[in-house]
Structure 1
Amino acid sequence: MIGYLNLILRLTIWFLLTANLSPANIIIGVSIALLLPGRPKAPGRLKDWLRALWETLVAIPQAYMEAFEMIVRPHNYEEVTMEQVKPGRTPGLIFLDIFLITFTPKTIVLKYHENGWYEVHWVRRRRKA
C-alpha cells in the first residue's frame, strides 16, 4: 500500500511541475515514477500517510481563508520560527509537511535542517505578546 502512495506522490509532483495531463505526459510521468529509485530507508506507515492526506484536504480551505483574511486585514509583522519534524517521518512525508506549510499563504519553509527542524517564516497580523 505504501508503494502505491509513493507512486501517487511522485505522479502528483510530476503533474504539478508539468501542468499537462495529455496521454503522452501521463505515460512519461508513470515511466519516470516507476524508474526513480525505490523504497525509502524508513518505510512510512499507512496511518502517517492517511493523516498527511487529511491534512492536505484541510489545508485547501485554510489557504483560501488565510488569503482572504490577508486581503481584508493587513498582516504587517513577520517572524521566523523553528519547528520540529514529527518523529519517524520518511522523506516523502517530510516533503508533504514542507508542502503543506508552504501551501498556506501565511507561512513558508525557508530551510529544512537535517537534524529534524524546519525554519518557518510567518506573516502575522500583530506581534505575539
Structure 2
Amino acid sequence: MGTITILNIILRLTIWFLLTADFGLANIIIGVAIAFLLPHGSISPGKLKDWLRVLWEIMVAIPQAYFEAIQIILRPHNEEEIVREKVKPRRTPGLIFLDIFLITFTPKTIVTKYDEQGWYEVHLVRRKKKKIKQKL
C-alpha cells in the first residue's frame, strides 16, 4: 500500500468522523470499511509532493484563521467581493476538496461554487478602504 493510498484513506476517515461526530467502535469500523470500499484513483509520483504541500498549507492555515478571526472582531469588515480563482494544475478530486477546505477554513473567505472547467468562485470579506479627502 503506497503513501498516496494511505493519505486518501486518512482523508476519507477524517471526513467520515467530521460528518458523524461519533468515535464509537462500531462507527470506526464502518468508517474504515467505507474508506477501503470507495474507489481509488490512479497514483503518480507527483501526487505525493502535492499532498505534502497541501498538508503544509493546512498547518499554516490554522494560525492564519485565528489571526483573521481576531481581525474581524476588532475591526469590522464591511466590504464583500466575489472573485474567481484558477484551480492549480494536476489536482485530483481529493486535493481539490482540500483546496476548497483551506479556502473556506479561514474566516474571510468561502468557496461558493466549483466550476468543472477548473475555477473556484470565492466570496471575500474585506475592510472598507478609507477614502482620502482632497482639499481644493
TM-score by length of 1: 0.93
Alignment match, 1:114: 116
Which of the two has higher C-alpha Rg?
2
Q: Which runs of 4+ in 1 moved over 4 A?
A: none
Shift of residue 126 of structure 1?
2.2
Give per-residue Cα distances to partners, 1:29-52, cap 9 Å, x unaligned: 001111111225x74611000000
Unaligned regions of 5+ residues in structure 1, if any?
none
Alignment match, 1:38: 40
RMSD of aligned alpha carbons: 1.7
Q: Does 1:77 align with 2:79?
A: yes
Give the 5 Å matches for 1:14-53: 14-39=16-41, 43=44, 45-53=47-55
Q: Which whole-Å CA distance do the structure 1 matches of 2:130 and 2:88 have between them?
A: 24
Alignment partner of 1:66 out of 51, 60, 68: 68
Alignment partner of 1:97 out of 83, 92, 99: 99
Letter in 2 for 1:105: P
Identity over aligned pairs, percent: 71
Shift of residue 21 of structure 1?
1.3
Give the secondary structure class of the aligned counterpart of 2:23.
coil
TM-score by length of 2: 0.89
Give the secondary structure class of the aligned counterpart of 1:89.
coil
Q: Which whole-Å CA distance do the structure 2 matches of 1:128 and 1:85 have between them?
A: 32
Unaligned regions of 5+ residues in structure 2, if any?
132-136
